[in-house]
Structure 1
Amino acid sequence: MSPSGVDHRQDNSTTQQDAEVMTKRILWKLDLHVLPSLTLLWLSAFTDRTNIGNARIAGLEKDTHLHGNQFNICLAVFYVSYILVELPSNLILKKMKPSRWLPFLVIAWGTVTTLSGLVHNFSGLIAIRFFLGFCEGGLLPGIMLYLSSLYRRHELQQRVGIFFAAGSMSGAFGGLLATAILKMDGVGGLAGWRWIFILEGLATIIIACLAACFLPADLATAKFFSQEEREFAVRRFEVDQTGGATLHVWTSSEQTNKQTDDIEKDVDVSVETPSPVSLEQTGQEREIFEWGEVKRALRDVQVWLLALTYTGVVVSLYSFSLFLPTIVAGLGYRGGQAQLHTVPPYVPATVLTVAVAIISDKMKLRGPFVLFFLPIAIIGYIISIVAKNNTQRYVAVFLIASGVFPCGPCLLSIIPNNVAPHYKRAAATALYLGSSNCGGFIATFIYTSDQAPAYIRGHTITVSFLGMAWVFIALNVAYCYWENRARARGLRQNNIQQYQMSLDAGKTRVPMGDRHPDFRFTL
């Protein structure tokens, strides 16, 4: 009890409760305005990227006179342009504002998808797929960078899981939608596969326009927050970016009556009522671009360990989504039945993706979940290789989807969790996703029609990449554990002196970010 008769321990408990209530309110408003829009954007992206698989079994190859590996070449061209634009897009994201840049990208590729319904030959399909990748390449790294600027580090993955699950749903949704659209075969003198591109492309454009109306540019300018909520949201985010601390909200009366010395004994970090927040006052907006941050991203060991991990997962993820319709057709199903049988494997994958994302945030773990789920997918591929009948192969598809899809949000969240400040995170996210998307090239060539229905060569290559992914995610978990132990033992305190010397010499003006000895990596 203080001399004034005020029990500051009770005050502290009250302010902690106020902070929790405020946090829940902020997260609810963010989720309501951000997640539905991003989920629909990603659903559209994944549908537009993979609908060529549905179009293929509906007559695209025959009508465009494709032969040999020309279909696979068309798929590979997509990843050429996709990879080229990821880093530039992320570096300009903040200047262009993500609430406008991301919907703009989606409108652009929705337009390209619509035009895909007008192609008549191999060269036309090559051109369309190149521009589709060029428009879409900035979306995923942009979404990850955008979410990491709105949510604290261990609030991130469950949000990533929700929009990433849209990728799983797009497989089911795309199959159902394609089944319905194919009934338009002959309408307007166009084949049904052309209507798949035209209608899904137009839907994408509409979704992007709606998303632009709801997405906030950043925390400091979000119109759906009150001034108090806006100030609190910015401060709690910045505390998290500097290593994390207990956050308290002080009311005006408590500000007047509190005695600082007494309170500091009970409180780790108090955030007093701040002055109005402007764009210039927030840590993210103060940071200026320096090429040194790109170089730091290039030298970060986690970027490359995780890039090799995600490359292995991407080989499975992309080949599964692109070729599942063909695999199902190889099992003896045709037409609408083939489209419908692509749907069930995505259902358990979607449920697991969301569940793992929520649990992962609560436990503040990423890599260990990948270590657990990748073997499930590996077992699925092994069953596919040794399967003696179509029923066994179809069961294996469920294991593959349930093992691969839950790994996606875990791997997408690690770099935003472990890299700071903003421009290093922007560069690292783009480099990581850009290099790992090279797996897309491999994915497009390992499943060829001459392997149907067993696809033993394709499955063998894919399971080898998943084995590689397991090894590299294990190395990354070990590295983060080792580095966190070193920081806890005080072995990285010289980082502060080195940073101060660079600051005094005018070599940098950006925050310390992940170099700070109090910063802890997420396993």
Structure 2
Amino acid sequence: MGSATPAVILTESEETKSLTRRVLWKLDLHILPLLTLLWLSAFTDRTNIGNARIAGLEADTHLNGNQFNTCLAVFYVSYIIVELPSNLVLKKLKPSRWIPFLVVSWGTVTTLSGLVQNFSGLVAIRFSLGLCEGGLLPGIMLYLSTLYKRHELQQRVGIFFAAGSMSGAFGGLLATAIIKMNGIGGLAGWRWIFILEGLATIIIALLAVYFLPADLWFAEFFTEEERAFALHRFHIDQSAGISTSQPEDAKRSSHASRDMEKDGKLSVELSQPKLETIHQEHEVFEWGEVKRGLSDVQVWLLTLTYMGVVVSLYSFSLFLPTIVAGLGYRGGAAQLHTVPPYVPAMVLTVLLSVISDRTKLRGPFVLLFLPIAIIAYIISIVAKNNTQRYVAIFLIASGIFPCGPCLLSIIPNNVSPHYKRATATGLYLGCSNCGGFIATFIYTSDQAPAYVRGHTITVAFVAMAWVFMALNVAYCYWENNARAKGLRQGNVDKYQELWDSGKTRTAIGDRHPDFRFTL
């Protein structure tokens, strides 16, 4: 009697794991490459003015004094204005349409930057660029938070944020090639930097219109089974804020709650089926959620943290070409020497993002990496030669860039439901980007090559970021401990009163006693 080949029997848990892998693979394949290209384009179009500067922009547009810095500053003024309003309309206008619209708009403005003739024209162009680009980053963060579970988010953010690191390297290499077009069509090489990079941005945006889904429900690349599973796992994660919940656990909890309701038993669990059925696709706008987003203590602690990081991040990206030129490099050599510092920063950004999701930690890694940047700035201040200054640039990038995804992910992780998250994310990034305004005036040409004043101001902001990050970690630890001890059970009763009085029809979100903040 021949032996039969044993059949492969999948348990429910194995089926769940298999579906999870398929869902995440399809999301990553269809969404991350496009978002990465969009962010790469945004960062390149925002910072290519630094490459254009050392290719002749200042001389051709007759800039003098701090006029270049003023042109950079007006970008952040308009950028900050639109971040919160953009996030509030994102759900209504659909991210698959609104985000590409923003990209097409700023791609057009970038292209027109190649035609600017004077200071006033450059100010107008940079202000317009900020208006068009301001909604992108908060929009991408809010969009990703509607597709991935809380602790799947950062490694995806890390991938597209690393594109920001890549844009520094890519922008330098691209500018080196483009400026060789100097004289073609009667245009200077720096003008071609804006024109060609702007046109590339528009093309990428048109691809995004076609391929990006509005949400999980409209993701055509899913099978019906995958779509149902993707929605279910996301709803379970969002309903109680516990990313370790499994679909089968949630089903048992839901059945148990319904059984209690049939028996006429009154308990805290009675409200849970109601809370779980208010999913983000059905959530309606309420000003109360905007108010909660504006008053969340974490938003303000993290805003001051990210502002300190932004001062370093943006000043580094905008002025690296100038600093490198101040080290004695000229022309193509200056452009090429802006590339290497971004390479280790990019690798560390992705690596830390993966580790951060697996450990479900954000703040502690920021506290670990910011001191690297602080030490690097101190080295820059006391450096005696250009070699030491150039080495310090590597350490600054390696200390600052990996912190970005941690800080971008923590608000979507810790704020719920949708409209509170939209408000908090927009406010957080809008106020944090005031650091970009500060950054534009820190490094002035009269400080070359040491830039002691610029480095001193920046290191003070990075140290400030470390302090407020430590405060936020302490706050989250304290609040999680209180919830674990059952001290926040009253939140459900307060929410039930609001519901019964008709004052809210949104989900309980982060008020739920089972919700745990990510440190």
The TM-score by the shorter chain falls in which range? over 0.9
Unaligned runs of 5+ in 2: 1-8, 260-276
- Structure 2 residue 492 is matched with structure 1 residue 493: no
Q: Deviations over 1:57-77 (max 9, x none)?
A: 000000000000100000000
Is the 1:16–1:248 contact (alpha carbons within 8 Å) kept by the matching residues of 2?
Answer: no
Amino acid paired to 1:201: G
Q: Secondary structure at the match of 1:58?
A: helix
Out of 158, 162, 172, the position equivalent to 2:159 is: 162
Is the 2:304–2:432 contact (alpha carbons within 8 Å) kept by the matching residues of 1?
Answer: yes
- Structure 2 residue 235 is matched with structure 1 residue 241: no
- Structure 2 residue 321 is matched with structure 1 residue 325: yes
Q: Deviations over 1:363-382 (max 9, x none)?
A: 00000000000000011100
**Hey, what does 2:446 align to over in structure 1?**
450
Q: CA deviation at 1:212?
A: 1.6
Query: For the structure 1 residues 514 and 474, does the alpha-carbon distance in structure 2 shift closer, same or farther, using more than 3 Å as the test?
Result: same
* d(CA) in 1 for partners of 2:512, 2:387: 54
* d(CA) in 1 for partners of 2:204, 2:225: 31
* d(CA) in 2 for partners of 1:475, 1:18: 42
**Hey, what does 1:73 align to over in structure 2?**
70
Query: For the structure 1 residues 249 and 18, does the alpha-carbon distance in structure 2 shift closer, same or farther, using more than 3 Å as the test?
Result: farther
**Hey, what does 1:223 align to over in structure 2?**
220
**Hey, what does 2:280 align to over in structure 1?**
284
Q: Deviations over 1:373-397 (max 9, x none)?
A: 0000011100000000000000000
Amino acid paired to 1:247: Q
- Structure 2 residue 207 is matched with structure 1 residue 210: yes
**Hey, what does 1:117 align to over in structure 2?**
114
- Structure 2 residue 50 is matched with structure 1 residue 53: yes
* d(CA) in 2 for partners of 1:180, 1:249: 56
Out of 447, 467, 472, the position equivalent to 2:468 is: 472
- Structure 2 residue 412 is matched with structure 1 residue 407: no
**Hey, what does 1:439 align to over in structure 2?**
435
* d(CA) in 2 for partners of 1:160, 1:362: 14
* Pairing of 1:361-372 with structure 2 (within 5 A): 361-372=357-368
Is the 1:15–1:248 contact (alpha carbons within 8 Å) kept by the matching residues of 2?
Answer: no
Amino acid paired to 1:358: V
* d(CA) in 2 for partners of 1:358, 1:247: 21
**Hey, what does 2:345 align to over in structure 1?**
349
* d(CA) in 1 for partners of 2:172, 2:391: 18
Out of 119, 124, 130, the position equivalent to 2:127 is: 130
- Structure 2 residue 97 is matched with structure 1 residue 100: yes
Is the 2:278–2:506 contact (alpha carbons within 8 Å) kept by the matching residues of 1?
Answer: no
Amino acid paired to 2:381: I
Is the 1:19–1:249 contact (alpha carbons within 8 Å) kept by the matching residues of 2?
Answer: no
Q: Deviations over 1:216-259 (max 9, x none)?
A: 11001110001111011001001001223532469xxxx9xxxx
* d(CA) in 2 for partners of 1:113, 1:454: 31
TM-score (norm 2): 0.92
Q: Deviations over 1:178-223 (max 9, x none)?
A: 0000000000000000000000000000011112221111001110
Q: Secondary structure at the match of 1:411?
A: helix
Across the aligned residues of Structure 1 and Structure 2, the Cα RMSD in angstroms comes to 1.6
Q: Secondary structure at the match of 2:69?
A: helix
Out of 424, 428, 431, the position equivalent to 1:428 is: 424
* d(CA) in 2 for partners of 1:342, 1:29: 35
Is the 1:234–1:282 contact (alpha carbons within 8 Å) kept by the matching residues of 2?
Answer: no
Task: Give the number of equivalent residue pairs.
Answer: 487
**Hey, what does 1:268 align to over in structure 2?**
none
Is the 2:176–2:336 contact (alpha carbons within 8 Å) kept by the matching residues of 1?
Answer: yes
**Hey, what does 1:64 align to over in structure 2?**
61
* d(CA) in 2 for partners of 1:122, 1:152: 46
* d(CA) in 1 for partners of 2:190, 2:507: 52
Query: For the structure 1 residues 293 and 282, does the alpha-carbon distance in structure 2 shift closer, same or farther, using more than 3 Å as the test?
Result: closer
Is the 1:294–1:427 contact (alpha carbons within 8 Å) kept by the matching residues of 2?
Answer: yes
Q: CA deviation at 1:147?
A: 0.2
Q: Secondary structure at the match of 1:178?
A: helix
* d(CA) in 2 for partners of 1:414, 1:247: 22
**Hey, what does 2:3 align to over in structure 1?**
none
* d(CA) in 2 for partners of 1:285, 1:248: 19
**Hey, what does 1:509 align to over in structure 2?**
505
- Structure 2 residue 377 is matched with structure 1 residue 378: no
* d(CA) in 2 for partners of 1:389, 1:196: 32
* d(CA) in 2 for partners of 1:87, 1:343: 33
* d(CA) in 1 for partners of 2:429, 2:126: 19
**Hey, what does 1:140 align to over in structure 2?**
137
Is the 2:237–2:245 contact (alpha carbons within 8 Å) kept by the matching residues of 1?
Answer: no
* d(CA) in 1 for partners of 2:201, 2:278: 34
**Stretch of structure 1 that moved more, 67-76 or 13-22:** 13-22
Is the 1:165–1:354 contact (alpha carbons within 8 Å) kept by the matching residues of 2?
Answer: yes
**Hey, what does 2:197 align to over in structure 1?**
200
Amino acid paired to 1:189: G
Unaligned runs of 5+ in 1: 1-10, 265-280
**Hey, what does 1:37 align to over in structure 2?**
34
Out of 304, 307, 310, the position equivalent to 1:308 is: 304
Out of 450, 458, 462, the position equivalent to 2:458 is: 462
* d(CA) in 2 for partners of 1:436, 1:292: 23
Q: Secondary structure at the match of 2:217?
A: helix
- Structure 2 residue 356 is matched with structure 1 residue 360: yes
Q: Secondary structure at the match of 2:449?
A: coil
Q: CA deviation at 1:285?
A: 1.5
Q: Identity of paired residues, percent? A: 79
**Hey, what does 2:412 align to over in structure 1?**
416
* Pairing of 1:381-392 with structure 2 (within 5 A): 381-392=377-388
Q: Secondary structure at the match of 2:440?
A: helix
* d(CA) in 2 for partners of 1:298, 1:144: 17
* d(CA) in 1 for partners of 2:245, 2:170: 43
TM-score (norm 1): 0.92
Amino acid paired to 1:284: Q
**Hey, what does 1:178 align to over in structure 2?**
175
Q: Secondary structure at the match of 2:11?
A: helix
